A and B are shown apart, each in its own frame.
Chain A
Amino acid sequence: MTALGALGRATAKVGDGVDHAAGAIRDTPATLRAALSHRRGRRVFGVAGAVILLLYLLAIGDIALSASGRWAAEPLARVAPDALFRSRAPWLYEPVIELHPGAHVAVFASPVNLLLAGIVASLAGLNLALAAHAAKQAVACRRPGYSRSLAVLPAFLLGIACCAPTFVLALGAGTAAAIVPVLLPLRPWFYPLTLVLLLTALVWGVHRVRALGRADQSGDAATPN
């Protein structure tokens, strides 16, 4: 096989991958509906989404905790409505309401940050709900337990790991000094990168579910690729 021929085949494989991805994208809404039609899927989506949302807001400082209860003397609320769309850093906006629901918790609420966090949390939650759906399908395929875990573990890990770039938003002086100067120029890209990774993981998850469905129909228990 000539080098040119190998290159042509490799390029064609990329083209095939595009077709697979297009099919998975087409099937994504229906597959997500199926994943969320079960109580378990909805629970995974809700819990995972809430945890990611909380972690995101803690990471960017919009929720702060104090073990010593240093907000005991603070007023319940302060507002700064003019700051609604004022940016602090790429993908990070000024709070417009400061709340002190107790001595140990402070909330610096920015509607824009909340929206951005909600998008990431929803996509991560959908990824994990889809992974749970894949696990359920693997059971339907009568796969052994370890095989089920191997099938869904990558999807679970991917769903969480895809949020990692966003958490780098919180990097500041307190974090590893050696990597901060290198990462800071890339900071504007972290949030879009997170969305791309989460969406890619979602489509990949749908592709796996479709493959499991096909294997189930044909009685083939081979792990989907």
Chain B
Amino acid sequence: MVDQTPHPSRRQVLKGLGVIGGVAAAGGLGAWAAFSDGDSPAASGAARDTDLDSLADAIVPGGPGKDGIPPIDEPKFLPAGKVDFLHDDEPVFGLVRDGDVRAYPQQVLVWHEIVNDVVADEPLSVTYCPLTGTVVGFPGLPGRPGATFGTSGKLVNSNLLMYDRPTDSQWPQVPGIAITGELYGQRLETVPLVWTSWRAWRTAHPDTRVLSRDTGALRDYGADPYGSYLGESGYYASGDPIFGVQHTSDRFPPKHVVIGVRSGGERLAIDKDLVRDERVVEIDVADTTVRAEWDDALATARVLRADGKEADFMDAMWFCWYAYYPDTVVRA
């Protein structure tokens, strides 16, 4: 049979080809822009470390842009008697450093994640990641006085990825090691803070000063976008982490709180409930001993080294500690 359909005009065919080609090119460009990752771990002459490079490869966008979760750079503090925005049972992160006593309310830090503070005349960046329940103090950047940190808007193992403002190197909060940039491989010193309630902290430290809600940013303080620690609901109570993690374990529920401890090359996870029940838990680590003690007044755990000084420890959701340290020793 002879095909009697009229031939399309060349002009219309060319027009159609132009449109199809344009759409395909724009789509390809868009997909490349959306999924390409500009966070190459290179940019340093330092020796490569496969563990650090695998962390750099695990960087994912968290939603906000750089400093889209705005760090507090000029924190203001109130005396305990002037604080009227905290419920007694609300969590605060307590710090005592060279006689300077401070409380950082979780309801403020959940919106900012980093407070670039000065405590006892020394810089201290107090950092909090709501997705992993970890709070860590970092006393600045080695060799760069006055350096502050910002939020990259990205995550590693569902954990806050900070950047330092002088070099733009990126530091996941829990390990505190630069995984990209000029300072690749450097480790930050840490200062532990304790999770406790506002009532317990102000009773134990009536002279405490409290981070104010006058932060320079306008936020719905008192509302928590993730859930609530008053009666434990939402993200904090149960379920899997939202973002991907490198290693998983079902030894505890993902959001179960452990006390993560780093001592030399050893990594320990102590069930926080165990410390509360047994009051004291001692663990031999390599050639030393660490001692986790329950603090009744603050209803929290502290970890001390054999010399009586505070160890490098933090409260952490189990999934996060395990994601970073799958070889961790567990005490439950």
A binds B: yes
Number of interface residues of B (CB under 8 A): 48
Residue of A nearest to B60 (CB): A181
**Chain A contacts for B131, CB-based, 8 A:** 173
The answer to whether A14 and B19 have CB atoms under 8 Å apart is: yes
Report A94-124 CB contacts with B as 1/0, cut-off 8 Å: 1111100000001010000000000000000
Instruction: Name the interface residues of A53-80: CB closer than 8 Å to any CB of B.
Output: 61, 64, 66, 70, 73, 78, 80
Report B221-246 CB contacts with A as 1/0, cut-off 8 Å: 01101110000001100011111100
Instruction: Take A180-B242, A186-B34, A187-B63 as given contacts and tell me if A1 and B222 are in contact as well, using a CB distance cutoff of 8 Å.
Output: no
CA A219 – CA B60 in complex, angstroms? 59
Interface of B is mostly: loop
Of the listed stretches B7-15, B92-100, B280-288, B300-308, name the one at the interface; the rest are far from the partner chain. Answer: B7-15
The answer to whether A108 and B64 have CB atoms under 8 Å apart is: no
Instruction: Take A11-B20, A177-B239 as given contacts and tell me if A89 and B65 are in contact as well, using a CB distance cutoff of 8 Å.
Output: yes
| Min CB–CB distance B218 → chain A (angstroms) | 4
**Chain B contacts for A14, CB-based, 8 A:** 15-17, 19-20
Report A16-47 CB contacts with B as 1/0, cut-off 8 Å: 11110000000000000000000000000000
The answer to whether A15 and B15 have CB atoms under 8 Å apart is: yes
Number of interface residues of A (CB under 8 A): 49
Residue of A nearest to B37 (CB): A185
**Chain A contacts for B240, CB-based, 8 A:** 177
Instruction: Name the interface residues of B1-57: CB closer than 8 Å to any CB of A.
Output: 3, 5, 7-9, 11-17, 19-20, 30, 34-35
B61 contact from A5, A92, A98, A184, Cβ within 8 A: A184
Residue of B nearest to A110 (CB): B218
Instruction: Take A14-B15, A96-B218 as given contacts and tell me if A88 and B242 are in contact as well, using a CB distance cutoff of 8 Å.
Output: no
The answer to whether B16 and A89 have CB atoms under 8 Å apart is: no
- Asked if B68 is an interface residue, CB under 8 A from chain A, the answer is yes
The answer to whether B220 and A80 have CB atoms under 8 Å apart is: no
- Asked if B84 is an interface residue, CB under 8 A from chain A, the answer is yes
Residue of B nearest to A82 (CB): B216
- Asked if B123 is an interface residue, CB under 8 A from chain A, the answer is no
The answer to whether B222 and A83 have CB atoms under 8 Å apart is: no
- Asked if B75 is an interface residue, CB under 8 A from chain A, the answer is no
**Chain B contacts for A11, CB-based, 8 A:** 8, 12-13, 16-17, 20
| Min CB–CB distance B95 → chain A (angstroms) | 26
The answer to whether B65 and A90 have CB atoms under 8 Å apart is: yes
Instruction: Take A64-B223, A174-B225 as given contacts and tell me if A185 and B244 are in contact as well, using a CB distance cutoff of 8 Å.
Output: no
Lowest 6 A-B CB distances belong to which pairs?
A12-B8, A14-B16, A15-B12, A15-B15, A11-B16, A15-B16
**Hey, which bits of chain A sit against chain B, CB under 8 A?**
1, 5, 8-19, 61, 64, 66, 70, 73, 78, 80, 82-83, 86-90, 92, 94-98, 106, 108, 171-174, 177, 180-181, 184-189
Given contacts A108-B218, A108-B219, 19 further A-B contacts (CB under 8 A): A5-B3, A11-B13, A11-B17, A12-B8, A14-B20, A70-B222, A83-B217, A90-B65, A96-B218, A97-B218, A173-B130, A173-B226, A173-B242, A174-B227, A174-B235, A177-B239, A181-B242, A184-B61, A184-B63
